Copies of this chain bind each other. A is one copy, B any other.
Amino acid sequence: MNLPPLVQAFVLHFGEMGSRWGINRTVGQIYALLYVSPAPLNADQIVEALGVSRSNVSMGLRELQGWNLAVPKHVPDDRRDHFTTPGDVWEILRVLAEERKKREVDPTLSVLRELLMQAPASEAERHAQARMAEMHGLIEQLTNWYEDVKKLETERLAQLLALGSRVARLVEATDKVVSLGRRKKKE
């Protein structure tokens, strides 16, 4: 690997980090490299930059494409495929959230739904199902919220983030209004 020190440090860090996620070192490094690269890179350039085998890069790129984290970019007068990452970091965030949800949350949700349909055959199963229902409920709330929020344009999303803790007060205020409307059912 022969890269400017700053870039190299970044790439190596993503390689390490990759292991803490599901992705392997090479995939992490490829992503990092594409992310900081000023122009799209072809596979051979990646090979040279990272010092891994051509086939490894091929597989890594394929995986990144599966995650929508690397997109092929056609360069005129060049037969080779070139790749970039989605340019806008917000876009990357969206892609990541979406993919992780798809891979890590949705399958669980569907298993839970299925298990909750079955009739419990014992006290142990009744209890287990109750716990599963709790988990299912929480995950569903979270994903519903996510589905809503992901529709927001980036600008609104940024505002929402910027609001931070003030959201709390906003929610409290809303709560009060609602409570009053309901004639202070609780509290």
Give chain A's interface residues, CB within 8 Å of chain B: 4-7, 9-10, 13, 17, 19-22, 35-36, 38, 89-90, 93, 103-104, 107-108, 111, 115, 118, 120-122, 124-125, 127-129, 131-132, 134-135, 137-138, 141-142, 144-145, 148-149, 151-152, 156, 158-165, 167-168, 170-172, 174-175
Copies of this chain in its oligomeric complex? 2
Q: Is the Cβ of B151 less than 8 Å from the Cβ of A165? A: yes
B-chain residues with CB within 8 Å of residue A132 when the two chains form the complex: 10, 36
Picked from B20, B121, B149, B172, the residue with its CB within 8 Å of the CB of A167 is: B149
Known contacts A4-B122, A132-B10, A156-B171: A21-B104 contact under CB 8 Å: yes
Residue of B nearest to A159 (CB): B171
B164 touches A171 (CB 8 A): no
